[in-house]
């Protein structure tokens, strides 16, 4: 999963990025201009927005840009503005969640996961006899567990999360690699190939020139 | 209160009536005494009882109006024994012939006069009551009701001022009403400012607290050394306290800006700073020199600008190299103060430091109509404050 964090305080940005980088690919920016550039460049699953950027309450202005690019990108507003009216404003503008400062990192992590699970209402999915547990990222077939490497698992479950949607190579690169510009798209093809070999049934389908899909 | 006043009035009235009656009775008795003395002296007691009265009436002494009135009711009697006599008023004198002369009178006249007195007293009481009620009514309308209205104003702090009564009264009452309203408004504003300061403080320190929390969270999951964590956390705490300090400083400035502007001379400001920070200048062996020939006067919020100047000079003193000179250049044409100092290491002299940073001093520039600039060049630090709006 790739996350964009807009936070003008460099220390907080550094600490939170450091924490979240254990779990996700994270891009931390400190102003709106940089945030817009990154949004153009990458596909994000979740955006963490600080409202107050250098003394101006302008963070929420980015929400429309984010949603215009990709409606399914989750937005969590993180702010010191904690009045009910402030929260209502943020949520009405399109934010999916609103977290008050000071916040707990673990709570933030849980909310990010919660947001990512929106598109996955079911924890256990079965496709053509193969069972998938999206929570624990396990695969089993006829009571035997199928093991994937870390990258293969991340890639497969990312596509599974977007079940019935075509997932482009670019989207996969952005979601799974910190510096996707340094990764060849062949890497995706190769990893998909490895996953297909390990799965007993053909689950991942290729949509020519567009990407992959799990129907 | 009215009941006790009534009871007191009744008691006083009763007392007056009783005393009046007593005095009348005494007058009659005195008259009787005079008559008795006269009778004895002139031996009129030889005359008949009936003749005695005529004799006394004929005498010139008793033609006085009061006596004539009494004489009407006075009777004379000669008795051997006075034991069985019971007259309202009675005087007895022993005669030489062993008999007693009894001069007696009924209380009819006295009662009549007491009645008259009572009527006069009642009328007087009623008239005074009417006058008092009238005065009280005027007082009520002109003073007490407006005062009560003012008390309502004082007590109804939370009410909309438009729903309160108008408080009609004299010019002074109206002025007092306006003064109370102003005072209440100022108090409400002060309370609001106090609430705002806490609200703003809470808002300002949320990010630093979030940093502290994030750091703690990372510390528990990483190999970070405890000493490093403590050091960084102490920096975070210092940031929080600095933010609070700056906030208090800002609020103090805002309060100073409420007051009227005054004329302030820049040379005076520089001298004031020198005196204020004399201990630290002495300790660091720093001299401060100003170009005395030039000066300009500002029309500004005196205390506010004093605070800003104090913060500016504090920052300068903190980083000025020991044993050097700070030069103040005042340009009267440009309304500019330029301070030049040699850069040294940061001092530990936090005792005199308000730790108001440059960012905040820049933020205040708009409020106090100055431009603030700093830069470093060739080991020297330049601070320029220009009061363009004053030109």
pLDDT tens digits, B34-93 = 888 888 888 887 777 778 877 777 776 666 666 667 777 888 888 888 777 788 888 888
pLDDT at B349 over 50: no
Average pLDDT value over all residues in chain B: 81
B291, two tokens: 């170009």
pLDDT at B245 over 70: yes
* Residues in B touching A16 (Cβ below 8 Å): 214
* Residues in A touching B213 (Cβ below 8 Å): 102-105
Tell whether A96 and A28 lie within a shared domain: yes
Chain B nearest-CA residue for A106 = B217
3-state SS class at B228 = helix
**CATH number of the domain that residue A140 is part of:** 1.10.10.10
Tell whether A8 and A84 lie within a shared domain: yes
Choose the final residue of a domain: A118, A147, A177.
A118
Contacts of A34 (CB under 8 A, 6+ apart): none
Contacts of B188 (CB under 8 A, 6+ apart): B157
Phi, psi of B349 (to 5 degrees): -75, 70
Separation in Å, CA of B213 to nearest CA in chain A = 7
- Give the β-pairing of A2-6 and A25-29: parallel
Question: Between vectors from CA A186 to CA A22 and to CA A26, what angle results, nearest 5°?
Answer: 20
Residue B280, H or E segment: helix B278-283
Q: What's the confidence (pLDDT) of residue B197?
A: 66
Tell whether A134 and A112 lie within a shared domain: no
Contacts of B368 (CB under 8 A, 6+ apart): B253, B257, B300, B301, B304, B305, B308
Domain that holds residue A91: 2-118
Among B residues 210-249, those touching chain A with beta carbons less than 8 Å apart: 210-215, 217-218, 221, 236
Choose the final residue of a domain: A118, A143, A168.
A118
Mean pLDDT confidence for B345-351: 48
Q: Which residue has the higher pLDDT, A199 or B184?
A: A199
3-state SS class at B277 = coil
Chain B nearest-CA residue for A105 = B214
Chain A nearest-CA residue for B218 = A19
Which candidate from A12, A82, A106 shows the least CB-CB separation from B211? A12
B30, two tokens: 């005195």
Tell whether A86 and A17 lie within a shared domain: yes
Torsion angle of C-alpha atoms B44, B50, B55, B56, degrees rounded to 10: 90
Residue listed under structure tokens 């340009």: B331
Low-confidence ranges of chain A (pLDDT < 70): 119-122
DSSP assignment, residue B346?
A: P
CATH number for the segment(s) B259-390: 3.30.565.10
Contact between B218 and A18 using a beta-carbon 8 Å cutoff = yes
Which candidate from A15, A81, A100 shows the least CB-CB separation from B211? A15
B388, two tokens: 């363009």
* Residues in B touching A102 (Cβ below 8 Å): 206-207, 209-210, 212-213
Which candidate from A9, A19, A101 shows the least CB-CB separation from B217? A19
Contact between B207 and A16 using a beta-carbon 8 Å cutoff = no
Tell whether A128 and A95 lie within a shared domain: no
Q: What's the confidence (pLDDT) of residue A3?
A: 94
Q: Give the integer Cα–Cα distance in Å for B73 and B66.
A: 12
pLDDT at B189 over 80: no
Contact criterion met (CB below 8 Å) for A95 and A3: no
B311, two tokens: 């913060």
- For chain B, what is the largest distance between any 2 Cα atoms, rounded to a whole number of angstroms? 145
Separation in Å, CA of A16 to nearest CA in chain B = 6
- Give the β-pairing of B287-290 and B325-331: parallel
Separation in Å, CA of B282 to nearest CA in chain A = 38
- ipTM score assigned to the predicted complex: 0.73
Q: Is B287 on the interface with A (CB under 8 A)?
A: no
Tell whether A114 and A45 lie within a shared domain: yes
Tell whether A99 and A159 lie within a shared domain: no
Tell whether A136 and A103 lie within a shared domain: no
Tell whether A85 and A157 lie within a shared domain: no
**CATH number of the domain that residue A60 is part of:** 3.40.50.2300
Tell whether A142 and A188 lie within a shared domain: yes
Encode pLDDT of B297-340 as tens digits.
888 888 888 888 888 888 888 778 889 999 989 888 888 899 99
Helices marked H in B59-168 = 65-71, 108-139, 145-155
* Residues in A touching B214 (Cβ below 8 Å): 12, 15-16, 19, 105
Counting the structural domains of chain A, the total is 2
Encode pLDDT of B357-389 as tens digits.
666 777 777 778 888 888 888 888 899 999 887
Which stretches of chain A sit within 8 Å of chain B by CB? Answer: 9, 11-12, 15-16, 18-19, 22, 80-82, 100-106
pLDDT at B347 over 60: no
* Residues in A touching B221 (Cβ below 8 Å): 19, 22
pLDDT at B354 over 60: no
Interface test with chain B among A7, A48, A82, A102, by most B beta carbons within 10 Å: A102
Contact criterion met (CB below 8 Å) for B386 and B336: yes
Q: What's the confidence (pLDDT) of residue A41?
A: 86
Is the whole model's pTM more than 0.80, yes or no?
A: no
**Residue length of chain B:** 391
B343, two tokens: 């850069």
Cβ atoms within 10 Å, residue B159: 11
Which candidate from A16, A82, A100 shows the least CB-CB separation from B214? A16
Choose the final residue of a domain: A92, A118, A144.
A118
Tell whether A109 and A176 lie within a shared domain: no
Tell whether A154 and A84 lie within a shared domain: no
Residue B52, H or E segment: helix B49-58
Residue listed under structure tokens 């949320």: B206
Identify which of B234, B361, B348 has the alpha carbon closest to the alpha carbon of residue B308: B361
């Amino acid at each position: 999963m790739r996350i964009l964090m807009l936070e003008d305080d460099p220390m907080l940005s550094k600490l939170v990025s450091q924490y979240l980088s254990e779990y996700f690919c994270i891009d931390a920016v400190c102003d709106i201009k940089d945030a817009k550039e990154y949004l153009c460049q990458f596909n994000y699953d979740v955006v963490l927005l600080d409202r107050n950027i250098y003394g101006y309450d302008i963070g929420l202005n980015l929400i429309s840009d984010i949603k215009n690019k990709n409606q399914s990108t989750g937005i969590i507003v993180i702010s010191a503005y904690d009045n009910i009216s402030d929260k209502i404003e943020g949520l009405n503008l399109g934010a999916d969640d609103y977290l008050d400062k000071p916040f707990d990192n673990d709570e933030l992590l849980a909310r990010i996961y919660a947001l990512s699970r929106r598109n996955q209402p079911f924890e256990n999915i079965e496709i053509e006899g193969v069972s998938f547990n999206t929570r624990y990222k396990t695969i089993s077939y006829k009571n035997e567990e199928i093991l994937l490497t870390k990258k293969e698992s991340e890639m497969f479950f990312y596509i599974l999360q977007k079940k019935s949607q075509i997932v482009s190579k670019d989207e996969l690169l952005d979601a799974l690699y910190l510096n996707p510009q340094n990764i060849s798209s062949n890497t995706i093809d190769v990893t998909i190939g490895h996953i297909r070999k390990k799965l007993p049934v053909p689950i991942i389908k290729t949509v020519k020139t567009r990407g992959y899909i799990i129907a | 209160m009215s009941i006790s006043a009534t009871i007191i009035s009744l008691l006083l009235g009763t007392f007056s009536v009783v005393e009046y009656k007593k005095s009348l009775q005494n007058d009659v008795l005195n008259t009787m005494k005079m008559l008795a003395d006269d009778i004895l002296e002139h031996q009129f007691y030889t005359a008949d009882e009936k003749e005695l009265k005529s004799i006394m009436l004929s005498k010139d002494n008793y033609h006085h109006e009061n006596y004539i009135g009494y004489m009407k009711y006075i009777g004379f009697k000669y008795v051997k024994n006075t034991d069985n006599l019971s007259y309202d008023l009675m005087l007895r004198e022993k005669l030489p012939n062993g008999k007693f002369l009894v001069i007696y009178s009924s209380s009819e006249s006295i009662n009549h006069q007491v009645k008259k007195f009572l009527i006069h007293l009642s009328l007087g009481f009623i008239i005074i009551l009417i006058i008092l009620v009238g005065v009280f009514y005027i007082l009520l309308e002109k003073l007490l009701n407006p005062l009560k209205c003012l008390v309502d104003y004082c007590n109804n702090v939370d009410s909309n001022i438009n729903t309160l009564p108008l408080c009609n009264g004299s010019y002074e009452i109206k002025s007092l009403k306006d003064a109370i309203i102003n005072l209440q408004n100022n108090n409400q504003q002060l309370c609001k400012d106090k609430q705002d300061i806490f609200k703003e403080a809470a808002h300002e320190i949320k990010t630093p607290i979030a940093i502290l929390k994030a750091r703690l969270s990372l510390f528990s999951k990483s190999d970070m050394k405890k000493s490093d964590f403590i050091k960084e956390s102490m920096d975070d705490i210092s940031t929080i306290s600095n933010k609070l300090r700056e906030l208090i400083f800002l609020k103090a400035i805002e309060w100073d800006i409420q007051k009227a502007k005054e004329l302030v001379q820049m040379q005076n400001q520089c001298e004031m700073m020198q005196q204020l920070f004399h201990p630290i200048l002495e300790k660091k062996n720093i001299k401060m020199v100003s170009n005395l020939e030039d000066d300009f006067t500002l029309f500004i919020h005196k205390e506010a600008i004093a605070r800003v100047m104090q913060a500016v000079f504090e920052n300068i003193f903190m980083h000025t190299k020991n044993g050097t000179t700070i030069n103040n250049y005042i340009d009267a044409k440009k309304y500019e103060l330029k301070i030049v100092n040699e850069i040294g290491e940061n001092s530990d002299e936090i005792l005199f430091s308000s730790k108001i940073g440059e960012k905040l001093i820049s933020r205040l520039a708009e409020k106090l109509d100055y431009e603030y600039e700093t830069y470093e060049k060739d080991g020297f630090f330049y601070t320029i404050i220009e009061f363009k709006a004053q030109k």
